[in-house]
Amino acid sequence: MGSDIPHEVAHSALEKARGAMLSKQIEARGITNERVISAMSEIPRHLFVNPDDPAQAYADKALDIGFNQTISQPYIVALMSSLLADLPVGSRILEIGAGSGYQTAVLVHMGFEVHSMELIPQLRQKALEILSEQGLSPASMVNGDGRRGMPEKAPSAARSRRLPRSWVNQLSEAGIIVAPLGGRFRQRLIECRKEGSKLLRIDHCEVRFVPLLRG
């Protein structure tokens, strides 16, 4: 029984850190959507990062996950998720670049049918294991180049200079693309929706993402 105490102490410290992340980084910056808040308050983000420093998981920054990739900053995950939060439960989402699987977990928790693509097999494998342990497995996660897309789509977690044409072609009438667009040091988080034959673009904010790689 005694050996359980340090674990419980550590656990409550992580829960506290998660609460602070939500109030100081997410709600304080204007994200109030209930589906996003409940997903991010219930999902143990520390399980998706390097186990050596779980408390860092709740810091206001992106973190290294190996293979030159990062888990996105909590606020950016919240923002991208909130841009999709008006889509009804059960909507099909294509996520490009699952990485740690944390954004995948948030979207699955929000009730979406998530199809994810990840280029690096080891990251995909690890993400799938954690997601399954958490009961948050996506509908599918394929190992492949997301620049080609899949039948439907959504947030892209890696930047590119312009939207791959396949993503726009595959976007459904009521669908939304959320993606970071731009060069190495400056990108803008862009939301795109189809309006008749036009693509409506809404520019949200400056972001910094790792690049979309060629598969």
Which residue numbers are catalytic? Answer: 72
**Residue among 12 and 56 whose Cβ is closer to ligand SAH:** 56
Buried b (16+ CB within 10 A) or exposed e, 72-92: bbbbbbbbbbbbbeebeeebb
Would you say 188 and 205 are in contact if contact means Cβ atoms under 8 Å apart? Answer: yes
In the bound complex, what is the minimum distance in angstroms from residue 167's beta carbon to ligand SAH?
11
**Residue among 6 and 151 whose Cβ is closer to ligand SAH:** 151
What would the DSSP string read from start to end of 43-103?
A: S-GGGGS-TT-GGGGGSSS-EEEETTEEEPPHHHHHHHHHHTTTSPTT-EEEEE--TTSHH
User: What is the spatial distance between Cα 30 and Cα 109, in angstroms, rounded to a whole number?
Assistant: 21
**Residue among 3 and 64 whose Cβ is closer to ligand SAH:** 64
Q: The tokens 């409550």 sit on which residue?
A: 12
User: What is the spatial distance between Cα 186 and Cα 206, in angstroms, rounded to a whole number?
Assistant: 7
In the bound complex, what is the minimum distance in angstroms from residue 7's beta carbon to ligand SAH?
25
Question: Can you give the binding site for ligand SAH, defined by CB under 6 A?
Answer: 69-72, 96-97, 99-100, 102-103, 117-120, 123, 145-147, 157-158, 210, 212-213, 215
**Residue among 69 and 91 whose Cβ is closer to ligand SAH:** 69
**Residue among 37 and 179 whose Cβ is closer to ligand SAH:** 179
In the bound complex, what is the minimum distance in angstroms from residue 28's beta carbon to ligand SAH?
21
In the bound complex, what is the minimum distance in angstroms from residue 178's beta carbon to ligand SAH?
11
Q: Containing H/E element for 97?
A: none
Would you say 211 and 158 are in contact if contact means Cβ atoms under 8 Å apart? Answer: yes
In the bound complex, what is the minimum distance in angstroms from residue 168's beta carbon to ligand SAH?
16
